[in-house]
Every structure is written in C-alpha cells, then in structure tokens.
Amino acid sequence: MSLKFLPVSREEMDALGWDAPDFVYVTGDAYVDHPSFGAAIITRMLENQGYRVAVLAQPDYKSCADFKRFGRPKLGFLVTGGNIDSMVAHYTVSKKKRSYDYYSPGGKAGLRPDRAVIVYCNRVREAYGDVPLIIGGLEASLRRFSHYDYWDNKVRRSVLIDSRADILSYGMGEHSISRIAELLNKGVPVKKIRDVRGTAYVCARDDDVFFDTAAVFDYNVMKTDREAYAAAFSVQYKNMDSVTGRAICELYDERKLVVNPPSPPLEREELDEIYALPYARDYHPSYKKDGGVPAIEEVKFSITHNRGCFGACNFCALAFHQGRSVRSRSIESCVKEAEIIAAMPDFKGYINDVGGPTANFRYPACKKQIKSGVCADRKCLAPKPCPNLEVDHSEYIKLLESIENVKGVKKVFVRSGIRFDYVMYDKNEKFLRKLVRDHVSGQLKVAPEHCSHNVLSHMGKPDIEVYERFRKRFFEISKECGLEQYLVPYLMSSHPGSTMKDAVKLACYLKETGLNPEQVQDFYPTPGTASTVMYYTGIDPLTNSRVCKTDDYNEKKLQRALLQFYRRENAPLVREALIKAGREDLIGYSEKCLVRPQKISGYSENSSRAKKSDSISKKSNLKNKNLSPKSSKDKFSNKNKKITKKGR
C-alpha cells in the first residue's frame, strides 16, 4: 500500500498501527484522493486536524457486514452518496438505467445503491446501533428539506428523516464537520449538537431552536399542496446566505426538522490551506486492475481556483449547495498546485483547466455582499446586470499568466464554464482577447441554453443578444489571431416555460447560425433547484408567477428532436413537432425549412419536387425501356438521390 492514501481496508489500517479509526468515511464513489472530490477534501482536512480516518468506498450494501470492516469508530461514521446524487448517477432524464458510472472503477455501473445515503445509513445502524452518524455531500445537501423527487414523482421527506442519521451537514462542509468532530472528540453527545451552522438535526416538535427562525412548514401539507411547497422553497432559497440566513423548520408529526443557517464560506487563507493538504492526486492503487476511475481523467491536471456562483441559474443547484457568494484561492496557492502537477511523472505539459463553478469569477459580485450578504430578491447578472455589479478580470488574467510561467507547463486551458455575459459586461476586452488567443483548445464550451426570451427568463439567463455579441467577438478575435476555433454551446430542451413554439424558435436559430449540436440536454428535475419546483408545481417560486411546464414524455421527445432537426432519424418527430406548433411552413425544400416532407415509397408528399421526381422517373423508364426492371429502378434511384442532396 502507498502511504499517500488513507486506509481502505483492515489490513491497510493495521499497517498504520491503529486499533480503531476515529471516523469511518463511507462514500458511494470509488476512493479518489484529489481535491476535485469532496471525500478527499473532508478526509484530508480531518487527518490534518489529528483524526484517524478510514475510507469505506462503495461498500457491499446488501448486508451490514462490510460496514464492520474497520470495527466501531471512536467518534462516528460520516456518510455521503458521492460527488453527485446517486439517482442522477444511475438514471437518465428518461429514467432509463445508465450503463456507465464515471465515479466507479472501470466505469462499472451498479456499485452503489439507489438513494445511497439512506441505504448506507440503515446498514450502519444495523451494524452499530446508536453510533454517531453524520451525513453530508451533494445528495444529503440538496435533499435536506422535504423535496420533489423526480424518480418517485412525489414530495419525499428530508433525507435526514429517512436515513435516521443524527446530523446532516449541508453545503461545503469544512466548517461544520470540523466543529462536529471537535465537539464529539470533547465527549459531547451527538444528540446535543444543535448550534452548528450549516447543519440540520431532528428534535421533538416543541423543542426550542438555537437560531432565529424564518418559517415553520408542515410536511403533511407540502406533500400534497403544490402552492405551499413552492412558497416553502422560496423561503429556503432566500435564507441560503450566511450573513442574512435564518433557521427553517419542518414538522413531521411529533418531530421537527431544524435546518440551521448556512456556514460562512471559506475565506482565501482557509481555501489555500485546504488545497495545500497532501493529496495523492490519483485513484487508490487497488483500482488499477480495473482500469482506474474515469472521473479522474478530466480533473487530474486541473486547478480549482474558486467556489460559489453569483450567476444563480434557476436550473442549477449551486446556489443551494455552494451558495451565491464567491470566494477564491490566492494566486500563490494555485501556482504551488501547478508546480505539484508539473512535477507529476505523467504530466505532458497541459493544465486542462483553471476554473470552478464559473471559471471567470474571483470575488463576490459587489462589496455589499461581504457585509450585507447577497440580495434575496434579485440576481446579479440576469435578466440585466445589477448596477452594483463589479466586473473585473484583472486578477484572473494574472492568475493564468502566473500558471503559464510555471516550469514544465506548455499550455493552460480554460474548460469549465465561462460566464459569457460577465465577459461582455467587462469594458476592458483584455481578458476576452487572452482567453481566445491563449486558453481555448480548439473549442470553447459556453451556455446560452436557449434563444427564446420567454424560456431564458425562466432559466434566469440573459437574453440571447448578449450571447450573440460574445459569439461575434469570439470569431472576430480568433480570425485576428489566425486561429480556427469553435464555440460549443450548451442547449436545453423542455425547461419549464418552454412551449413547442419556443422549441421551434430555437431550432430555427440553430439553422440560421449553422449550429448542429451533437449533444443537447433535456431538462432534468433534480432536487434543490428553482426550475425543479417550476416543473412540479407550475409556479416560479422566486416570483410566484405561473409557468407552463412540459412533463408529457412525447412532447419532451419532440422538443429534444427539434434541437437536432438535421438528423435523419429525427425527421418524423420534427415533422410532428412542427405540425403541433402550427409551423408546417418549415416542412419543405426551401432554405428556411427544417425538414423535408414525408416520403412514401420513394416519393415526397405534397411538393413540386415530388412531381419533378415522378416526371424524371417516367422519362428514365421511356429512355431505358430495353433495361431490366431492376436496372431501370436503380437509375431512377440514383437520379432521385441527386435531387435529394440538392434539396437538403
């Protein structure tokens, strides 16, 4: 065993001379000791604080036997479903089982259970009864309140209730986990730990709450009353800021769920300390025989320089998990990490990314946020930029230049999300020029998502005109630099608010701009987003306005097909969608058309081209009357193919 890794087996723990660990960290992912993985950060942080941590990665969940691998821990179990929600990891948006898992050895699917946090906790309880049990990570964080569950199509209880854990740590858990560990180590009973920010717990209905309370909701009401559910989410969203947030309670018959206010974000010095911990920066050697863990490939030579996102798109859970207040690491910290990467034996000279949730954010959107918190009732960037927004890329430019100068680094790419609207609001074009000239690997991924004002407003995104200005300058600067580069736009179909007419409008936009997207995303209702609330309730929880929603499977299929109208296999669906939208004018052979008319036995219906094809066929047969029927048919087929090609 390499001593760079924390122990994953009893043998590895014994080799370290431990009689028992302080904490057993249970995760639904394979063990990857890299700072892009939450499990690595929390376990290394606890190790740095003097605790002994063993990692139980993807345990056999069919019984509690594997959960006894390290014996009973002295302080408790820490349980996470992994880097992403286990249901998202297992199922596509059409609820079909995935055959590949990026966070498992060799990409093998099925190594974690559905609803991993609940299953793991139940096995821990079977094994050790009342051992302190703390849950965290994305799955627990986004399911901390009662929540609409797309896969069950109902409002489920808080995951803390269903898991029977003692404490839930939500958001970026360094502060809360450190405090919980400190109190447990001092002998404080886990049931008495109720005053830690960034946590949730369950108590008796009439128990007092330590923090000021914003609201109390009743699960028995919310599980059937959609308006009440949307109103509750609105309160939750508005109390996600560490400066202004208050506690929120939910009643479950005689019990009460208390979600304390959020933890403050890690400041620059704290982030620097976290990212300076001794990560192995790879998957555990035991996975080598299986081909490793695919998820490491994209991030192994990448640097995360920030946290949080004030973009706050409605379909994104970042605001509910990391928060809207941005913090970043120092340039010196990032350069040190680049030097570590450059010294790795398999490094080829290319830093794959210097990014984060949004690559080009380094500071809070305005100085007001530091003392007064983020605004509860408006967004920083959409639909229009806030007058108080401070746009400054100068430090990010300096960061990229500093990493470029690290010995052994040939090229630095920016591959995580660039907020193109933030770029365009910068009166100084220096960053855009540097990005285009130095940091694009042929293609730059950006996220306009749609072109319809109606849909973009429900997404919390800027109007398409902003993207068009960015697109124009991107290609102009690329040309000036003598570079042939492309934009790869992220596009989404079936988002709440999107009608068939909106989908047609997007298809026409793609045709006009010459885009043939290979990948498009159908809206996926996941816990913790305003868009999911819209999907379930038909109400925008941030404005309390009504929203049309697309939950019919066939209509979702039609909207998705329109985004890839150019694919032959989509032609029947595209025709159906256009007819449904009353846009039969887009079925035909003109330049504006998205799809050709339906063909029957080689002939096109209802078109002058069909008549022309028929005429050609007759002439061909007359001229070649001495040919066999098969030869005559072949000649007609070839002529028809030429016409088809010209029409396309």
Domain boundary among 440, 475, 492: 440
Q: By mean pLDDT, which of 114-123, 132-141, 374-383 is the weakest?
A: 374-383
- What is the rounded distance in angstroms from the CA atom of residue 541 to the CA atom of residue 537? 9
Question: What is the number of other CB atoms lying within 10 angstroms of the CB of residue 293?
Answer: 26
- List pLDDT tens digits, range 327-345: 999 999 999 999 999 999 9
- What is the rounded distance in angstroms from the CA atom of residue 258 to the CA atom of residue 168? 10
**584 and 613 share a domain?**
no
Strand partners, 354: 303
**433 and 459 share a domain?**
no
Domain boundary among 146, 167, 200: 200
Q: Are 441 and 413 in contact (CB under 8 A)?
A: yes
Helix (H, G, I), strand (E, B) or coil at 356: coil
**Residue 550: per-residue pLDDT:** 87
- List pLDDT tens digits, range 288-300: 999 999 999 989 9
- pLDDT reading at 194 higher than 80: yes
**421 and 446 share a domain?**
no
Domain boundary among 172, 200, 228: 200
**Residue 408: per-residue pLDDT:** 97
Q: What percent of the chain has pLDDT over 90?
A: 88
**Residue 498: per-residue pLDDT:** 97
Distant-in-sequence, close-in-space partners of 354: CB < 8 Å, separation ≥ 6 = 302, 303, 305, 334, 399, 400, 403, 412, 413, 414
**Residue 185: per-residue pLDDT:** 98
**Residue 146: per-residue pLDDT:** 98
Q: By mean pLDDT, which of 333-337, 374-378, 393-397, 558-562 is the weakest?
A: 374-378
Helix (H, G, I), strand (E, B) or coil at 134: strand
Q: What percent of the chain has pLDDT over 70?
A: 92
**398 and 460 share a domain?**
no
111 closest CA partner among 163, 57, 66, 64: 57
Tokens, residue 367:
């100085």
Distant-in-sequence, close-in-space partners of 514: CB < 8 Å, separation ≥ 6 = none
**512 and 587 share a domain?**
yes
Tokens, residue 637:
């087929």
Q: Are 399 and 305 in contact (CB under 8 A)?
A: yes
Geometric angle at alpha carbon 447, from 484 and 268, rounded to 5° = 100
Q: Are 150 and 526 in contact (CB under 8 A)?
A: yes
- List pLDDT tens digits, range 222-273: 999 999 999 999 999 999 999 999 999 999 999 999 999 999 999 999 999 9
- Is residue 240 in a domain? no
Query: Which runs of consecutive H residues, i.e. helices, occur in 239-315?
Result: 268-275, 296-299
Q: Are 29 and 120 in contact (CB under 8 A)?
A: no
**165 and 97 share a domain?**
yes
**Residue 90: per-residue pLDDT:** 97
Give the residue, 454 or 621, on which the prediction is more confident. 454
- Is residue 18 in a domain? yes
Question: What pTM was computed for the model?
Answer: 0.90
- Is residue 296 in a domain? no
**Residue 601: per-residue pLDDT:** 55
- Is residue 555 in a domain? yes
Tokens, residue 249:
């309670």
Confidence of residue 132 (pLDDT cuts 50, 70, 90): very high
- Is residue 90 in a domain? yes
CATH code of the domain covering residue 60? 3.40.50.280
**457 and 470 share a domain?**
yes
- List pLDDT tens digits, range 501-560: 999 999 999 999 998 888 889 999 999 999 999 999 999 999 999 999 988 999 999 999
489 closest CA partner among 510, 508, 505: 510
- List pLDDT tens digits, range 567-579: 999 999 999 999 9
- pLDDT reading at 632 higher than 50: no
**34 and 116 share a domain?**
yes
Tokens, residue 182:
């400190």
- What is the rounded distance in angstroms from the CA atom of residue 337 to the CA atom of residue 360? 19
**436 and 462 share a domain?**
no
pLDDT, mean of residues 477-501: 95
CATH code of the domain covering residue 314? 3.30.750.210
Q: Are 547 and 539 in contact (CB under 8 A)?
A: yes
On average, the pLDDT of the chain sits at: 91
Helix (H, G, I), strand (E, B) or coil at 283: strand
Helix (H, G, I), strand (E, B) or coil at 488: strand
**44 and 157 share a domain?**
yes
**Residue 641: per-residue pLDDT:** 33
- What is the rounded distance in angstroms from the CA atom of residue 282 to the CA atom of residue 563? 38
- List pLDDT tens digits, range 91-124: 999 999 999 999 999 999 999 999 999 999 999 9
- Is residue 353 in a domain? yes
- pLDDT reading at 36 higher than 60: yes
Q: Which residue has the tokens 């403050």?
A: 264
Q: Are 64 and 126 in contact (CB under 8 A)?
A: yes
Strand partners, 545: 540
- Is residue 215 in a domain? no
pLDDT, mean of residues 388-409: 97
Give the residue, 530 or 378, on which the prediction is more confident. 530
Confidence of residue 638 (pLDDT cuts 50, 70, 90): very low
Q: By mean pLDDT, which of 55-59, 552-556, 609-613, 628-632 is the weakest?
A: 628-632
- pLDDT reading at 388 higher than 70: yes
Strand partners, 156: 147
**Residue 602: per-residue pLDDT:** 52
**Residue 600: per-residue pLDDT:** 63
Tokens, residue 135:
């849950």
**Residue 604: per-residue pLDDT:** 44
- Is residue 286 in a domain? no
**413 and 314 share a domain?**
yes
Instruction: Work out the angle between the directed axes of helices 530-537 and 226-238 (0-180°, nearest 10).
Output: 170
Tokens, residue 154:
């109902």
Please state whether the peptide bond connecting residue 113 to the residue before it is cis, i.e. omega within 30 degrees of 0.
no
Number of structural domains the chain divides into: 4
454 closest CA partner among 519, 520, 505: 505
- List pLDDT tens digits, range 173-184: 999 999 999 999
**468 and 494 share a domain?**
yes
Residue range(s) defining the domain that contains residue 422:
301-440
